[in-house]
């Protein structure tokens, strides 16, 4: 397999937001890519993408299954604070300090997208020891929107509400032979499988 192909697929997957429960865009990308390669992918009732590579008509029970997942860790809007910040909860059991000061995207039910940052409620270190001693939990942290909002009503007018998905910026980098990114679990494997399918198609 060509290294550049693998890197390109992994980048495409990592940079497509898919926090668990919000994977449709990533699913669509995979379906389209497999079809471009000449395969006939399909999805079952659970949303899994299944791509037959070789089909043995003589023994359909004889085969090898390779699998990977594209859902990632993320956040979900729990409520809107009076001053316009977003109270969130986590999708996945990661320590919240892993996401501190990360840029995020918020996806509303009507298809709008907004950006913001996940940070402490009181992040300033000037004249305060609060950032050094504060616990990293959902009472002490919030999402601040990249919008001019001063109240919960302002946020609601944007269309943001409880249950909206929040995805972390993957910060994808390829440096000196190393891929650095959020969501490599398990989009790296998904990208490798896509590259493998492309390589197989060349040899059929």
Domain 74-168 homologous superfamily, CATH: Peptidase M42, domain 2 (2.40.30.40)
Q: What's the mean pLDDT when you consider all of the chain?
A: 94
Strand-pairing partners, residue 87, are: 79
Burial category of 63 from C-beta neighbours within 10 Å (exposed 0-12, middle 13-18, buried 19 and up):
exposed
Handedness of CA 86, 161, 22, 174 (dihedral sign): negative
Nearest to 72, CA basis, from 121, 1, 23, 4: 23
Q: Are 136 and 95 in contact (CB under 8 A)?
A: yes
Q: Which residue has the higher pLDDT, 25 or 54?
A: 25
Q: Where are the domains of the chain?
A: 3-54+66-70+183-202, 74-168
pLDDT (0 to 100) of residue 172 = 98
Q: Kindly tell me if the per-residue pLDDT of 199 is higher than 90.
A: yes
The β-bridge relationship of strands 74-80 and 165-168 is antiparallel
Rounded distance between C-alpha atoms, residue 7 and residue 131, angstroms: 37
User: What tokens does 12 get?
Assistant: 């495409």
At residue 21, the pLDDT reads 96
Q: For residue 166, what is the enclosing H or E element?
A: strand 165-168
Per residue in 98-112, pLDDT (tens digit) is 999 999 999 999 999
Above 70 in pLDDT, residue 60? no
DSSP-derived letter for residue 151 is S
Contacts of residue 156, Cβ cutoff 8 Å, sequence gap at least 6: 80
């Amino acid at each position: 397999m060509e290294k550049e192909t693998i890197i390109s697929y992994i980048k495409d997957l990592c940079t497509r937001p898919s926090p668990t429960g919000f994977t449709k865009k990533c699913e669509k990308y995979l379906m389209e890519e497999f079809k471009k390669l000449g395969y006939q992918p399909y999805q079952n009732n659970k949303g899994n993408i299944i791509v037959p590579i070789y089909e043995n008509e003589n023994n359909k029970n004889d085969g090898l299954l390779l699998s990977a997942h594209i859902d990632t860790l993320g956040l979900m809007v729990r409520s809107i604070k009076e001053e316009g910040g977003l109270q969130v909860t986590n999708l996945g059991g990661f320590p919240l300090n892993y996401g501190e000061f990360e840029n995020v995207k918020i996806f509303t039910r009507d298809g709008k997208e907004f950006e913001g940052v996940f940070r402490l409620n009181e992040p300033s270190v000037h004249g305060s020891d609060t950032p050094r001693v504060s616990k990293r939990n959902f009472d002490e942290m919030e999402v601040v929107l990249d919008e001019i909002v001063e109240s919960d009503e302002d946020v609601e007018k944007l269309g943001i509400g409880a249950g909206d998905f929040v995805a972390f910026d993957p910060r994808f980098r390829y440096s000196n032979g190393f891929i650095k990114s959020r969501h490599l679990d398990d989009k790296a494997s998904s990208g490798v499988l896509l590259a493998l399918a492309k390589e197989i198609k060349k040899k059929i």
